[in-house]
Amino acid sequence: MALPFETHIVIFPFMAQGHTLPLLDLSKALSRHQIRVSIITTPGNAKSISNYIASYPHVYVIEIPFPTVDGLPKGCENTSQLPSVEFHLPFINATKQLRKPPFQNIIQTMLDSQTPPICVISDFFLGWTLAVCRALDVPRLVFHGMDVLSMAICKYTWVHQPHLKAKSVSDPLHLPGVKLPFTLTSAELPETVNKQNQDDLLSKLIEEVGEANANSWGVVVNSFEELEKSHILCFESFYSEAKAWCLGPLFLYEEMEDLEKRNFSMLMQWLVEQITPDSVIYVSFGTQADVSDTQLDEVAFGLKESGFPFVWLVRSKTWTLPGGMEEKIKGKGLIIREWVDQRRILCQ
């Protein structure tokens, strides 16, 4: 059976709540734009993820087994289950064993299917996904939960740390090319930057994932361009050719859903208030049909002439009601320009 959505994106979150939740919100948002989403995770994380996206039938969860690794407690598949921070580095390194064959086989199977993925979006800790994506000619985008400016500072100070000179940890740092809207001192930098050591395992990991991320096709950032436009070019300069896509703040998606639920309640109340049962006309041309503004004018005239109350979903961003029409349909119909749950409406 042919799938309803042809555009397909693979999302691979790191196994930590703070890293996973924004990508789940992104998955929901993508699915609402008629994009099929496959989320790759391990069995221990699959249940909570499935519950989170349960009402989104075009977001799928694909499970791959978490490797058994010496030095990690058995059954730990999420950082929230680790006994202490000392286990974080072994945990991150353990995820590298998901590369072959699990991850590579999954992507290859998808490429051989009717809905091959157009890209893979994976967490910045999962830099090893780049090699697989390159081998299979699938663009890899790295996901960052931080804002652009914070990452630009971290990347600049990591690359130029040996040359950053300050009389003391409380002296202001000067970062050429980074437009700081505040005073920054080395004492405020992450410990991993201040105590950078080429022989340190954590430093080696940061260097490794940083190189993979720098060579990725793009960067998805949990921030919005209007806030950080002046910092984006500086941030992008640390990548080979990647463009930064600001798609956040993704946590607001839940608030958008709450707003939609409130709007839906208002719509249902309006339907209940109609005097005659089964008397409302519902009009929707779906998400694929391209209806011109002239055709929308004719639909408006037809609905007015029908004399029946109506609910009409309009996707056009350019169309407005013909002159004088607003007063004639006032109180008789609702024109909605946001997504609504059609199945719930038609079940009433």
Return the active site residues: 19, 123
Parallel, antiparallel, or unpaired: how do β-strands 59-63 and 310-313 relate? unpaired
Do the Cβ atoms of 143 and 23 come closer than 8 Å?
A: yes
Angle between helices 17-32 and 43-52 (to 10 degrees): 50
- Residue 60 class from Cβ within 10 Å (0-12 exposed, 13-18 middle, 19+ buried)? middle
296 vs 122, 253, 308, 341, CA distance in Å?
41, 30, 17, 21
Could you tell me which of 271, 267, 279 has the C-alpha nearest to residue 339? 267
Phi/psi at 132 (nearest 5 deg)?
-65, -45
CA distances from 145 to 10, 14, 70, 314 (A): 17, 11, 29, 34
